[in-house]
Structure 1
Amino acid sequence: MSRAREAVGAARRLVVKVGSSSLTTAAGGLDPARLDALVDAVASRRLSGTQVVLVSSGAIAAGLAPLGLRRRPRDLATQQAAASVGQQQLVARYAGSFARHRLTLGQVLLTSDDVVRRSHYRNAQRTFDKLLTLGVVPVVNENDTVATAEIKFGDNDRLAALVAHVVRADALVLLSDVDALYSAPPRDPDAVAVGEVAGPEDLAGVGIDASSSDVGTGGMTSKVTAALTATNAGIPVLLAGAEQAAAALAAGQGPAVGTAFAAAGRRTGTRLLWLRYAAQPHGALELDGGAVAAVAGRRKSLLPAGISGIRGDFESGDVVDLTDPDGTVIGRGFVSYDATELPGIIGHRLGDLPANRRRPVVHADDVVLISRTSQPITQGAR
């Protein structure tokens, strides 16, 4: 058994994510049998002593049938209406199902803002810690009723990866309607299941298909992106089919299922993970060749002399991208100047500047590097 699978089996705090298509019927309503089977698997792991956080899609999908909608709506207002109707059904059904195992459910509604804003991040972390200490099973969903960009561009795979870091999980399990990552789209007769992914290099040549579900938003690209987000933060991941939930969550006692993604090195600090995956850049700084070598190669601070251009309207303390002369993003960091202050100092040495301007534009401690091998796969159409 691989280390990644052993880590999932031995995890004392586990995040489990399930998608809409794994909980609903073809008509869009909740499927009680499928939901109960998932809850049985989660409850078994919880009662074995593992703290479990369940990230569940399905609110919008659950609201389709009650509203007489045949498929997921495209306009935001109807999506929000479906979420409003479906969220209560989803949580009520979960609460009743977990009650069969005498487990208490706690609902946590999040948007990306709750992991982008650092104060919100800390508040969410404290709430999760208390719920888990009290023996509650937190069920997390995006707050689709009021979310805007989260519905249009976000997905719960990414949310699950970030939640795994918020709660300091030992492992993440992603459950979907596909039982593993394949070397090509599963409909291809030559497709072969990929059992282990040691790093991004193992994904070279893997054909990743977009979702064809009428009720979900995240395809396989989304799941691989989420897996790399988690593993780059030191959290191992198991990707498996929802119908394999019992085996996937069996604490290493069941058959080896799905695709296991190994953690990449040490666990990333909260601040740098937030900077890499959750922060929204307010602009960009273009570095010359020497600055690229200093910042990316020698992990030095970015000084005014190494900047050849600026983009965006940002203030001191905002997050900005750092690009090479070709425009490729090589890093991200907290800038120490307003955008309006930089035109007068870029290209100058610190010693030539007034005393109150003799500081790095971005300090080395405030930079996270983003390379082609460590950066998550960019999502395609969903």
Structure 2
Amino acid sequence: MTAARQDVTDARRIVVKIGSSSLTTASGGLDADRVDALVDVLVRHLGGQPSGPGGAEPGGAGEGKQIVLVSSGAIAAGLAPLGLPRRPSDLARQQAAASVGQGLLLARYTASFARYGRRVGQILLTFDDVSRRAHYRNAYRTLDQLLAMGTVPVVNENDTVATDEIRFGDNDRLAALVAHLVRADLLVLLSDVDGLYDGDPRRPGASRVETVRGPGDLDGIRLGNAGRAGVGTGGMVTKVEAARIATEAGIPVVLTSAGRAADALAGLPTGTHFHPTGRRSAGRLLWLAHASAPRGAVILDEGAVRAVTERGGSLLPAGITAVEGDFTAGEPIELRAESGRPVARGLVNFDAREIPRLIGRSTRELARELGPAYEREVVHRDDLVLLRG
């Protein structure tokens, strides 16, 4: 008998992500049976039994475990009620569908978990909500408190207000970042495919990759596009990228199909098991590195590149040679070497239109001429993350 995956069975705080195609019909409506099947698995893993208004029966195999559910499906759920035959390509109609569908999705989860006396709480996130220090702490406190009170947080991107520039882009990536945010012990990615394959799983000869211990195990593997139902945004590319984000932060990942969720949570050898490759890093910097495209860039001279990448310094105006893009203070920007190579990403302290008159000057000089508000870093080291390569 194959041994259980120890890091899976030992996990106490777990993030489970479910894709749109696993929750909806091909026409776009929510499939109540699929939602109920997922909830049945999650509550059994939590140790609950069907109950009355007093709550689920305590104890059992899931005692002490906590689950955060990252659920796609809001836009897909809103298609049919709005008479849309397929997922729209324009942002405005996507937001309209999300506005209608998000309520339907949460109502379905509320009713399904209520069969076990379990409560759910909705958390809608954008990159802007969590890239700033105070907002990041608030997001963590809210999720932590919900879990402490026995509630299952249901997390989704706030599609109704997110713009192209501040979107996570897909809920696989969002799930990896949420796993880091809540300090999870495990991330489980559920879709319509039962794992990562070394070829198209619909064709003969393709084999499931059971274990990934590092990037080298992915050499030669071609990754597919969006799910078969055509209602989601992700595909195997986004799932493997999410697994990379999580494992680099020290969090193991299991990728499998929604139908095998029970086996995955039990630690059985289903799907693909991604082993951690790194250690946990400063929390919100992971969001900064992976959650959003930068709104612009500043070009650094050689001395500034060394200060930022080798000495852990902040970016000062004296080290900047040029500015690109149109951004405002507090937004993410890219820090580039003069060759164009991105070296870091950070939250900028000035608007793009202010930076040209700061270039190449010391903060002391700027303070004398422009006032004390200019005696500060363009990007503080606490708001800066280095980029790989």
Shared fold per TM-score greater than 0.5: yes
Residue aligning to 2:57: none
Worse-matched range after superposition: 54-63 or 12-21: 54-63
Map 1:340-351; keep pairs closer than 5 Å. Answer: 343=356, 346=359
Residue aligning to 2:37: 37
1:125 deviates by 1.7
Map 1:153-232; keep pairs closer than 5 Å. Answer: 154-212=169-227, 213-232=229-248
1:302 deviates by 4.6
The match for 1:248 among 253, 256, 264 is 264
1:268-325, Cα deviation, whole Å (9 max, x unpaired): 1123223322366343222344544453345455555654433235566654312123
Distance, in Å, in 1 between the alignment partners of 2:126 and 2:363 is 45
Which letter does structure 1 place at the counterpart of 2:110?
A: A
Report if the CA contact (8 A) 1:20-1:58 is conserved.
yes
Worse-matched range after superposition: 224-233 or 183-192: 183-192
Report if the CA contact (8 A) 1:111-1:147 is conserved.
yes
Report if the CA contact (8 A) 2:166-2:293 is conserved.
no
Distance, in Å, in 1 between the alignment partners of 2:161 and 2:99 is 9
The match for 1:295 among 308, 316, 319 is 308
Distance, in Å, in 2 between the alignment partners of 1:337 and 1:141 is 31
The match for 1:277 among 287, 290, 308 is 290
Q: What's the TM-score, normalizing by structure 1?
A: 0.83
Flag the 1:105–1:120 CA change in 2: closer, same or farther, 3 A.
same
Report if the CA contact (8 A) 1:4-1:263 is conserved.
no
Distance, in Å, in 2 between the alignment partners of 1:60 and 1:67 is 11
Flag the 1:4–1:332 CA change in 2: closer, same or farther, 3 A.
farther
Which letter does structure 2 place at the counterpart of 1:156?
A: N
Specify every segment of 5 or more residues in structure 2 that has no aligned partner in the other structure, as ranges: 48-61, 369-373
Report if the CA contact (8 A) 2:124-2:158 is conserved.
yes
1:12-54, Cα deviation, whole Å (9 max, x unpaired): 1111010010011222222222222211111112221211011
Which letter does structure 1 place at the counterpart of 2:17?
A: K
Map 1:35-184; keep pairs closer than 5 Å. Answer: 35-47=35-47, 48-49=62-63, 50-149=65-164, 154-184=169-199
Residue aligning to 1:369: 386
Which letter does structure 1 place at the counterpart of 2:257?
A: G
1:115-174, Cα deviation, whole Å (9 max, x unpaired): 234333222222211211111111122233444438987221122122222222122111
Report if the CA contact (8 A) 2:181-2:284 is conserved.
no
Residue aligning to 1:379: none
User: Quick one: percent identity of the two aligned structures?
Assistant: 60
Which letter does structure 1 place at the counterpart of 2:119?
A: T
Report if the CA contact (8 A) 2:358-2:366 is conserved.
no
Worse-matched range after superposition: 63-72 or 131-140: 63-72
Which letter does structure 1 place at the counterpart of 2:122?
A: Q
Map 1:286-365; keep pairs closer than 5 Å. Answer: 286-289=299-302, 291-302=304-315, 306-313=319-326, 319-335=332-348, 339=352, 343=356, 346=359, 362=379, 364-365=381-382
Which letter does structure 2 place at the counterpart of 1:369?
A: L
Flag the 1:201–1:366 CA change in 2: closer, same or farther, 3 A.
farther
Specify every segment of 5 or more residues in structure 1 that has no aligned partner in the other structure, as ranges: 373-382
The match for 1:236 among 243, 247, 252 is 252
Flag the 1:61–1:279 CA change in 2: closer, same or farther, 3 A.
closer
SS in 1 for 2:254: strand
Alignment RMSD: 3.3
Report if the CA contact (8 A) 1:54-1:138 is conserved.
yes
Which letter does structure 2 place at the counterpart of 1:230?
A: A
Distance, in Å, in 1 between the alignment partners of 2:167 and 2:364 is 48
1:211 deviates by 0.7
Report if the CA contact (8 A) 1:144-1:150 is conserved.
no
Flag the 1:296–1:201 CA change in 2: closer, same or farther, 3 A.
farther
Query: What is the aligned residue count?
Result: 368
Worse-matched range after superposition: 41-50 or 111-120: 111-120
Distance, in Å, in 1 between the alignment partners of 2:104 and 2:292 is 32
Flag the 1:30–1:318 CA change in 2: closer, same or farther, 3 A.
closer
Report if the CA contact (8 A) 2:252-2:276 is conserved.
yes
1:206 deviates by 1.9
Which letter does structure 2 place at the counterpart of 1:203?
A: L
Q: What's the TM-score, normalizing by structure 2?
A: 0.82
Which letter does structure 2 place at the counterpart of 1:221?
A: V
Which letter does structure 2 place at the counterpart of 1:25?
A: T
Worse-matched range after superposition: 137-146 or 8-17: 137-146
SS in 2 for 1:101: coil
Report if the CA contact (8 A) 1:29-1:64 is conserved.
yes
Report if the CA contact (8 A) 1:180-1:259 is conserved.
yes
Distance, in Å, in 2 between the alignment partners of 1:234 and 1:112 is 22
